[in-house]
Chains A and B, each alone.
Chain A
Amino acid sequence: MTRNEYLARLKSELENRKIADADDIVSEYEQHFAFKLADGYTEEEIAAKLGSAKSIAEQFGEFDKRPSGGRVLLKIALACAAFFEAVFYIIFSAFAIILGAASIALAATGLSLVFNFDISGLIPEMPYIGALLIGVCLLGLALLFFIAAFYCLAQVRQMIKASVRWHKNMTSSNALPPLPWSPRFNNKTRRGIRAVFTWSLIIFGVFFVLGYCVLAIKTGDLEFWHALNWFM
């Protein structure tokens, strides 16, 4: 019997017995043929050594009689899990988008302070040197928020990928290796993120303290926002 004849017969014998994953089983025998052919056996020899397709299908049939109830239950459980996962990922993505929006708002405010733009009176009055320092401090904070938004988006993206892989593995008989749940950056990106994070944290901290000190000294009041009548 040739390879194709053998595999076709095996497939029909399996299907006659309503054995699950017939294709998957046949592919395993296909691989067996491939390995044996590479070792120099003929198709006929290999087929003869395998044993009759009928007896093999019978052997698969011996234990494949589990009730299908378990599978249905598994599908329902997975669907429920998928629903909660989807809700979580939507909220997580929204959070990342909010962080991004906050970053843009902070950057806009910082730039307005640094370049002394007062768009429709939104920027409170203060001496320019204070505005410059606070502006730079806000730009540092904007960068921090940007990094946080970037990282959250990468995290949620990786989690979605990992959970799609997990769902596939739960229902298929051919498990692929599970994916990591946290994002993997290459070394260059990782170093970049760390450097930007450190520098923006330093800029934020240093300029916050400087800005506060300068404004407190200029106005002679530790609570300078009262001296400048910001909340009147």
Chain B
Amino acid sequence: MNTQYKKGVLELCVLALLKKCDRYGYEISEYLSGRIDIADGTVYPILRKLKADGLVTTYLSEDSGGPPRKYYSLTQLGRETFESDYIEYLRFARSVENILKENENDKK
């Protein structure tokens, strides 16, 4: 599947992940690449784009011992964007599914 198409959906997935708690980049990359077929490296540009758009912020935390980890955290704007995009996406996905199924049945 074409990556360009996945990207918008991946942004939504990242927002969903960050809604529960702050996470560092590797955590997000592992979670998504474990469930969706994407290159591991694709997640970091998405995180950067979300930050440039003001949907997430970052901070460094040394809590874990080792070198400081860069954590991503949802902003108020990110939260609001997620709430509206989430509903919109589900509606869109349902419509796409219906269209695909209807036309499949017609063929038979």
Taken residue by residue from 25 to 46, chain B's Cβ proximity to chain A (1 for < 8 Å, 0 otherwise) reads as 1100110010000011110110
A31, A49, A50, A59: which has the most chain B beta carbons within 10 Å? A59
Contact pick for A31, options B39, B41, B58, B69, CB 8 Å: B69
Q: How far is the CB of B17 from chain A (nearest CB, A)?
A: 17
Contact A60 B58 (CB under 8 A): no
Interface set, chain A 48-77, CB cutoff 8 A to B: 49-51, 55-56, 59-60, 62-64, 66
Q: Let me know if A175 is at the binding interface, CB within 8 A.
A: yes
Q: How large is the interface on A (under 10, 10 to 19, 20 to 34, 35 or more residues)?
A: 20 to 34
Shortest C-beta distance, B1 to chain A (Å), equals 15
Given contacts A25-B44, A28-B70, A31-B69, contact A175 B52 (CB under 8 A): no
The verdict on A194 contacting chain B, using a C-beta distance below 8 Å, is no
Q: How far is the CB of B30 from chain A (nearest CB, A)?
A: 8
Chain B proximity of A36: nearest CB distance (Å): 8
With contacts A31-B25, A31-B26 taken as known, whether A64 is within 8 angstroms of B44 at the C-beta atoms is no
Contacts between chains A and B (CB distance < 8 A), count: 68
Residues of A within 8 A of B25 (CB): 28, 31-32
Q: Which residues of B contact A49 (CB under 8 A)?
A: 33, 39-41
Residues of A close to B52: CB separation below 8 A: 63-64, 66
Q: Is B9 an interface residue (CB 8 A)?
A: no
The answer to whether the Cβ of A176 comes within 8 Å of any Cβ in the partner chain is yes
From B44, B53, B58, B69, A173 is in contact (CB under 8 Å) with: B58
What are 19 inter-chain pairs, A to B, with CB distance below 8 A? A25-B44, A28-B70, A29-B44, A31-B69, A31-B70, A32-B40, A34-B67, A35-B30, A55-B39, A56-B41, A56-B45, A59-B45, A62-B45, A62-B49, A63-B48, A63-B49, A175-B57, A175-B58, A175-B59
